[in-house]
Amino acid sequence: MRTAIMTTFLTLITFAALAIGQQTKPADTHDEMMSKCKEMMQRHEEMQQTMKQMDDRLADLTKKMNDATGTQKIDAMANVINEMINQRNMMHEMMMQHQPMMMHHMAEHMQSGKASMMHCPMMKEMPKGTETEDEHQH
């Protein structure tokens, strides 16, 4: 019970602080926002390149595992499993670092006005057939 009350209290304080911060911070100009969008896109592309390198490494280890025989196959299987565990941990860490930046970036768009989000290159990159603007309004 105490934990629930403290959690609710801390949440309310956090939202109040965010609301005050949003009221005092002026909206970025279009050029400033686009600069931030390009920075986010660059970080996103870097993350995709890192994941491609991880995929290539795992594919190479998998090929070696499939080509191996005898006790070498067991060692190769261990290498694949260890690589998968390491990559999963790295991807989790990347996501945990990337998510707060993305949420902050989206909040900046929201402060800059409704149309700002649709000009973001990251939003334009989203696959078609996901949620439409009409679905967000309802």
Cα–Cα dist 6/90, whole Å: 33
User: pLDDT confidence of 109, banded at 50, 70, 90?
Assistant: confident
Cα–Cα dist 137/21, whole Å: 25
Cα–Cα dist 76/62, whole Å: 8
pLDDT at 131 over 60: no
| Greatest Cα pair distance in the chain | 68
pTM: 0.57
Say how far residue 80 (Cα) sits from the centre of its chain. Answer: 26
Q: What is the pLDDT of residue 40?
A: 82
At 38-90, the pLDDT tens digits run 888 888 888 889 999 999 999 999 999 999 999 999 999 999 999 999 999 99
Domains of the chain, residue spans? 69-110
